[in-house]
Amino acid sequence: MGERQPLYEGKAKIIYPGPDTGTLVQYFKDDATAFNARKKDVITGKGVLNNFISEHIMNRLGAAGVTTHFIERMNEREQLIRALEIIPVEVVVRNVAAGSICPRLGLTEGDDLPSTLVEFCLKDDALGDPIIAREHILTFGWANAGEFDVMVAETHRINTLLTDIFAAINVRLIDFKLEFGRPADGSGGLMLADEISPDNCRLWQVGTDEKMDKDRFRRDLGGLTEAYQEIARRLGVTIPQAF
């Protein structure tokens, strides 16, 4: 079999053409990056863990009525997904202060926010994913007003669902990042894209606030694989042993 040509390679995933029109294959790499890729490493098995965890979460969101790009997991590293035109906006949801909002607004990590905060960043590594407002999204046409409203409403619904999913396994959902897209063939409305995994959520153990997410890598805490495995185990996700 000849080498497949990637359509796109990101920091943690590679996108290949799918078997059918309107589909793509999303391959999960073991690469870990932080601080806009100034910090890099390879963590063996991380891609497998994120593939299985994200499959589980996407299926649960789908069962609750959220439209997602996820079709099925193909193997340990790959998912079949709907081909979307990705809206170049990262939607960040914050329930508790952590990460970049702390230095930006003078908050202390762990502070409760008065209510759930939804922020938007432009998906542009060269610019360092700058924070943007609704006005930027509409002015530059990254999404129209209707799409923006759907994106925000879906985001709040997903936050409620995810908060409950993690609370049920004794984990606090501190913050996370979502991406949305529209079907490339023009059919249907916005869909949730990308992945939902401990790479793009902050997850803290109830009671101790021990970090069970990518902050273990960002902050050199060690034990990232063990933490992701523990999240998978509690969710009831079986991960193949030999990765």
Query: What are the two backbone dihedrals, phi and then psi, of residue 61, each rounded to the nearest 5 degrees?
Result: -65, -40
* Nearest CA among 58, 65, 103 for reference residue 235: 58
Identity of the residue, 18 or 179, whose beta carbon is nearer to ligand UDP in the bound complex: 179
Q: Is 197 in the site for ligand UDP (CB under 6 A)?
A: no
Sorted by sequence, the CB contacts under 8 Å of residue 212 that are 6+ apart come out as 171, 198, 203, 204, 205, 227, 228, 230, 231
As measured in angstroms, the least distance from the Cβ of 48 to ligand UDP is: 19
Q: Is 155 in the site for ligand UDP (CB under 6 A)?
A: no
- Show the site string, 125-144: x = touches ligand UDP by CB under 6 A, - = not: ----x---------------
As measured in angstroms, the least distance from the Cβ of 200 to ligand UDP is: 3
Q: Is 176 in the site for ligand UDP (CB under 6 A)?
A: yes
* Nearest CA among 116, 93, 84 for reference residue 188: 84
Quick check: helix, strand or coil at residue 160? helix
Q: Is 99 in the site for ligand UDP (CB under 6 A)?
A: yes
Cα gap 118→78, rounded to integer Å: 30
Choosing from 13, 69, 202, 211, the residue that interacts with ligand UDP (CB under 6 A) is 202
Q: Is 172 in the site for ligand UDP (CB under 6 A)?
A: no
Identity of the residue, 13 or 177, whose beta carbon is nearer to ligand UDP in the bound complex: 177
Cα gap 157→173, rounded to integer Å: 14
Q: Is 205 in the site for ligand UDP (CB under 6 A)?
A: no
Number of chain positions touching ligand UDP (CB under 6 A): 13
Cα gap 88→96, rounded to integer Å: 25
